[in-house]
Amino acid sequence: MSDDKLEIQVGEKAVSAIRTPPEGDARFTFVYAPGAGSNINDPFGEYLSSRLPNAGGSMVRFQFPYMEAGKRGPDRAPLLEETWRAVIDKVRPSSGKLVVGGRSMGGRIASRVVAQGTRVDGLALLAYPLNPPRTPATPRNGHLPDISAPTLFCSGTRDNFVAPGSLAVVVDEMPNAVLHELDGADHGFAVLKSSGRAREDVWQEVADVMLHWVEAI
């Protein structure tokens, strides 16, 4: 497997993307965006790029304009959404399933563009930030019931961006969503040493669950 480096225009800006294809034709394409504090070299995204192609998937990861410019604060929502739409338009496959998503903010913005009508075959929301600690009383779920595409949530049981039990309620209100809880994982997928597991074990669990789910949609 060899990476293809892409440059994708977003209005007058351009963002970087990396595509890691499988050997032979791809059975599915997964487009991934990292959380707000990370970039195209997000370690979890790199891990998925080593796993999914071995299972017949094409992995595409990208970064938003503020990370491209070396800034710390995220762009406003309209630009983040425009970026997601531009990336999807650029890499949409001619065959095979198209699944989009990402960690935390990356997945949240993907969910917004899918709710607004962007056509995909699946949506993977990893560590979805439903109840951000600074504003826990304002959950980010208003658009989620509008999503008809099959949706997978993977969320840690120690995630401080999700109030206990709240994500299960949201999933029940969506037409085609499932929730997989990551025992002992926090928002960054880290686990306590006393659990006997490491962060990489959680990454493997997420990838295994995703691959099983993609086969079923």
Summarize pLDDT for 110-150 with one digit per residue, the tens: 999 999 999 999 999 999 999 988 776 688 999 999 999 99
Residue 165 is predicted with a pLDDT of: 93
DSSP 31-88: EEE--TT--TT-HHHHHHHHHGGGGTEEEEEE--HHHHTT-SSPPPHHHHHHHHHHHH
Residue 189 is predicted with a pLDDT of: 97
Helix (H) and strand (E) counts for the chain?
6, 8
Residue 1 is predicted with a pLDDT of: 63
Residue 210 is predicted with a pLDDT of: 98
Radius of gyration of the chain from Cα atoms?
Answer: 16
Q: Which tokens go with 94?
A: 């001619």
Summarize pLDDT for 7-50 with one digit per residue, the tens: 999 999 999 999 999 999 999 999 999 999 999 999 999 999 99
Report how far residue 140's alpha carbon sits from residue 115's, in angstroms, rounded to the nearest whole number.
Answer: 13
Alpha helix locations (H) across the chain? 43-51, 65-68, 77-91, 105-115, 166-173, 199-216
Q: Which tokens go with 106?
A: 């990356």
Range(s) of the domain holding residue 99: 4-216
Residue 112 is predicted with a pLDDT of: 98
Closest to 103 measured CA to CA, from 157, 43, 58, 53: 43
**80 pLDDT above the threshold of 90:** yes
Domain tally, the chain: 1
Residue 39 is predicted with a pLDDT of: 96
Report how far residue 142's alpha carbon sits from residue 4's, in angstroms, rounded to the nearest whole number.
Answer: 36
Summarize pLDDT for 183-207 with one digit per residue, the tens: 999 999 999 999 999 999 999 999 9
Closest to 92 measured CA to CA, from 56, 58, 126: 58
Can you give the CATH number for the domain in which 177 is found?
A: 3.40.50.1820
Residue 134 is predicted with a pLDDT of: 79
User: Helix 43-51 to helix 199-216 angle, to the nearest 10 degrees?
Assistant: 50
Residue 49 is predicted with a pLDDT of: 97
